[in-house]
Structure 1
């Protein structure tokens, strides 16, 4: 057994309890997520969705946010478990990467290694956070995988109220995309953000975004009346890249929809718009990986935020075509 398989096996008991729920039958027309998710191993059949958790809120703590996102992966699995599948599919769970104490950087490296192994096995990783420091680990895993072939232009689409481009010397949940920018050349990637809240981002952050060529839409311009323009923004983004990493920070949603986050939105982007964007990306054939960040179950109300996030992941997983490109 490889070191990776041993690490995954050690997590099986920890995550299995989350994949439980109602059983109406065992044939295809009755299936729910908890009935199809299996422990992940190197022998997993290619083409499946593979869940991996990133149990961390050290980045949120460093960014002076409200901690609690460390419990996000379990809550997301629990919210997804009983959702009914439109058709039978294969899915696996690779367990959690757990950030111990202040060891964020080591955790991001461990996440990167796990993500690369999943991608190189021919699967679609869905990474469950955790704070938005998840993004740097997810990126490293994709960048180091065989999928990131030479010349392939990477597109990162962030659904977020914040740029997360801080120049702080200590990495946190507010720095991942600046860290990524330092790893890439201007001609090798495109970073785009939907849902930027002007009051939540200083002028310095807007200047940094402009300097790096970041394309963005303000939350003011993402209402349902603006949906056609938002989808045009997404289509233009997709046309300019070869490989897409989608990252969803749940604080992009209105606080009434997503109260269980470190920084709830005073305005936010309607769920209808967010769902339309994720549907477009899932159908594009270019989506290689996605993650969801900032779910804080201790601040949630009736699992509202977890259920919303799970619905988005459910649609992405069940609507994406097989393969990339």
Structure 2
């Protein structure tokens, strides 16, 4: 876990000292993860954006975990489970592949103590590390459904892994292991993915829903019905949320802001549906880029979603 030289985050924030009743906030509740930590949600930072650099994107997401913790610190406690901070995987000290392996190991560690991992990114190369952690921690789960809320398939071919390759890497691993590649992505933009990526998604049996097909309440209901079928067939879920699935006015602080994106209320409804399944093994949020985040808007939205996920784990 983090040691003093790693500059760990200090949880502090608003305190309503004159309030009557329970006025606790996240900074009152979060404790360092250690050998005695059990149950609840363990926050793991993935302070890495090397994959974004390799993919030709705008770097800065390595600062995401600290900014997201800062936005979480003063959120009110309303049904969260025990909250633990398991520190950061520091990309400045590790190469990308080593950082992904370190993340996988840390996920396996917190799961071994009965905690649920909630990983704070970092670029979407986070997904390959998170998935490897799930595979280590739950070797018996053969059909792990990946639910990705994202404007991009992230199925690229490349000589080196990057923020655009993680789900193709997972597909390759599943094929090598003789396991199904079960991938359902919502929010895909027809203006941010090449024909090659649509073709690869079709060849791999990826279920997807376009951003333009998720704008109305009727369209959301149709997407949720299809997602419910997938949730019923799996024996575990990996929920991954790329913040560039949101419209640029809501989430300017990402490498590739979305001109359309999904309405925040629809994103929250999909997150709630996945969490209500009771089958989520781990979750992460990717692409928070603080240097590009006007007024901290993206960090606040990310904190809202992270808290929603944590409360969803508590309601299992």
Q: Give TM-score scaled by structure 2 length.
A: 0.94
Corresponding residue to 1:15 among 9, 15, 35: 9
Residue equivalent to 1:36: 29
- CA-CA distance at 1:102 after TM superposition: 7.3
Structure 2 residue 262 is matched with structure 1 residue 294: no
Unpaired segments ≥5 residues, structure 1: 1-6
Residue equivalent to 1:248: 241
Q: Aligned in 2, Cα 1:75/1:229: closer, same or farther, shift over 3 Å?
A: same
Is the Cα contact below 8 Å between 2:247 and 2:262 reproduced in 1? yes
Is the Cα contact below 8 Å between 1:244 and 1:289 reproduced in 2? yes
Residue equivalent to 2:110: 118
Residue equivalent to 1:220: 212
Q: Give TM-score scaled by structure 1 length.
A: 0.92
Question: Could you say what secondary structure the match of 2:294 adopts?
Answer: coil
- CA-CA distance at 1:119 after TM superposition: 1.1
Question: Could you say what secondary structure the match of 2:31 adopts?
Answer: strand
For residues 94 and 2 of structure 2, what CA distance do their matches in structure 1 show? 22
Moved more, 22-31 or 104-113: 22-31
Question: Could you say what secondary structure the match of 2:8 adopts?
Answer: helix
Corresponding residue to 2:152 among 156, 162, 165: 162
For residues 286 and 66 of structure 2, what CA distance do their matches in structure 1 show? 13
Residue equivalent to 1:4: none
Q: Aligned in 2, Cα 1:88/1:142: closer, same or farther, shift over 3 Å?
A: closer
- CA-CA distance at 1:188 after TM superposition: 3.0
Is the Cα contact below 8 Å between 1:12 and 1:39 reproduced in 2? no
Structure 2 residue 138 is matched with structure 1 residue 138: no
Corresponding residue to 1:81 among 42, 65, 73: 73
- CA-CA distance at 1:9 after TM superposition: 3.8
For residues 304 and 51 of structure 1, what CA distance do their matches in structure 2 show? 21
How is 1:66-215 mapped onto 2 (pairs within 5 angstroms)?
66-87=58-79, 89-100=81-92, 103-145=95-137, 147-149=138-140, 152-185=142-175, 187-215=179-207
For residues 79 and 300 of structure 1, what CA distance do their matches in structure 2 show? 12
Q: Aligned in 2, Cα 1:92/1:169: closer, same or farther, shift over 3 Å?
A: same
Q: Aligned in 2, Cα 1:101/1:62: closer, same or farther, shift over 3 Å?
A: farther
Is the Cα contact below 8 Å between 1:21 and 1:81 reproduced in 2? yes
Question: Could you say what secondary structure the match of 2:295 adopts?
Answer: coil
- CA-CA distance at 1:28 after TM superposition: 7.1
Question: Could you say what secondary structure the match of 1:94 adopts?
Answer: strand
Question: Could you say what secondary structure the match of 1:14 adopts?
Answer: coil
Is the Cα contact below 8 Å between 1:159 and 1:195 reproduced in 2? yes
Residue equivalent to 1:55: 47
Deviations 1:101-127 (A, max 9, x none): 771001111111101101111111110
Is the Cα contact below 8 Å between 1:28 and 1:88 reproduced in 2? no
- CA-CA distance at 1:191 after TM superposition: 0.6
User: Runs in 1 of length 4+ with deviation above 6 angstroms?
Assistant: none
Unpaired segments ≥5 residues, structure 2: none
Question: Could you say what secondary structure the match of 1:144 adopts?
Answer: helix
Paired residues, number: 312
- RMSD, aligned α-carbons: 1.8
Deviations 1:47-68 (A, max 9, x none): 2110010001100000000000
